[in-house]
Amino acid sequence: MNYETLIYEKEDGIAKITLNRPEKLNALGYPMEPEIGMAVDEAARDDEVRVLIITGAGRGFCAGGDFRYSRLRTHELRPEEAEIRGEGVKGRLIQSIFHGILTLQRMDKPTIAMVNGPAVGGGFDLALACDVRIGSPNARFMVAFTRIGLVPATGGAWFLPRIVGLPKALELLYTGDFVEAEEAYRIGLLNRLVPAERLEEETMTLARKLVQNPPMSLRLDKFMAYKGLGTDLETALGLGIACENMCLQSEDHLEGLMAFAEKRQPVFRGK
């Protein structure tokens, strides 16, 4: 599928979605928001894709909603006209980014946010929806919504407490302050912090490592981890037993045992 505001690439089991409005720091709006949902759907449905990476072109990951700050400051626009979502498509746009973020979090494949620059507002939520975040020193995060009288309706208030803990999440939600890369790594927003020139290399190294692992195990790892956040231990143990039984019957489990016995690298085929 061809996209107007995204670049979708796929190679060796890895799909990469690059938000491609670098002149706007990849700000959200039409048609980017529905295209994100379509691209995530494409990766989720494609059996050849085992890992998905999301990143931004240029200096930014995603600057959030496409506000027209310059025209607002020169009084060319009234405040109620300053956001692109206010131009008769608000409901459809919000629903489309809901779909993209929900599909991203629910897809049964590992997802990685390669955070090359600012991730603000809805862009922050997009990064939070990924399983793993790798960033460079140029990465910085901001809830942003509080500062303009809004709330993180695209998932931030759900993701943040689960990633950094409730007290820190509330601080970020209340203040709307930027979190710089070093602090993001310290509090767990970033899994890894790497030099800017090595960001893509390190992200691809991790993605290739995951591609080599058995897809069923990764799918069930993700399923159990997220389900476990909302269940008690007894229920989680029951899920674990059911998932383990599925793995025990797989060809990949047998391949793993044989490779171990033969002292070679396993070749997992997702069966």
Question: Considering 211, 235, 253, which residue would you say is the last residue of a domain?
Answer: 211
Task: Please check whether residue 269 lies inside any domain of the structure.
Answer: no
According to the model, what pLDDT value does residue 70 have?
A: 44
Residues 187 and 250 in one domain: no
Residues 136 and 249 in one domain: no
According to the model, what pLDDT value does residue 152 have?
A: 80
- Which residue range(s) make up the domain with 233? 215-262
Q: Which residues of the chain have pLDDT under 70?
A: 66-96
Residue 128 sits at the vertex; the CA angle it makes with 202 and 191, to the nearest 5 degrees, is 35
Query: What is the distance between the alpha carbons of residues 36 and 54, in angstroms, rounded to a whole number?
Result: 10
Residues 238 and 111 in one domain: no
Residues 111 and 223 in one domain: no
Helices (DSSP H) in the chain: which residue ranges?
32-45, 69-73, 90-106, 122-128, 156-164, 166-175, 181-187, 199-211, 215-228, 233-248, 251-262
According to the model, what pLDDT value does residue 270 have?
A: 78
Residues 148 and 221 in one domain: no
Residues 128 and 228 in one domain: no
Give the contacts of 167 (CB within 8 A, at least 6 positions apart).
Answer: none
Q: How far is CA 64 from the centre of its chain?
A: 14
pLDDT digits (tens, 9 = 90+) for 12-40: 999 999 999 999 999 988 888 889 999 99
pLDDT digits (tens, 9 = 90+) for 187-220: 999 999 999 999 999 999 999 999 999 999 999 9
Three-state DSSP class for 51? strand
Residue 248: CATH number of its domain: 1.10.12
Q: Residue 182, Cβ neighbours under 10 Å: how many?
A: 12
Residue 99: CATH number of its domain: 3.90.226.10
Task: Please check whether residue 97 lies inside any domain of the structure.
Answer: yes
Task: Please check whether residue 258 lies inside any domain of the structure.
Answer: yes
Contact 200, 114 (CB under 8 A): yes
pTM summary value:
0.87
Residues 179 and 256 in one domain: no
Residues 103 and 232 in one domain: no
Residues 71 and 133 in one domain: yes
Query: What is the distance between the alpha carbons of residues 68 and 92, in angstroms, rounded to a whole number?
Result: 20
Residues 47 and 178 in one domain: yes
According to the model, what pLDDT value does residue 75 have?
A: 54
Task: Please check whether residue 270 lies inside any domain of the structure.
Answer: no
Residues 129 and 250 in one domain: no
Q: Residue 241, Cβ neighbours under 10 Å: how many?
A: 10
Residues 72 and 169 in one domain: yes
Tally of domains within the chain? 2
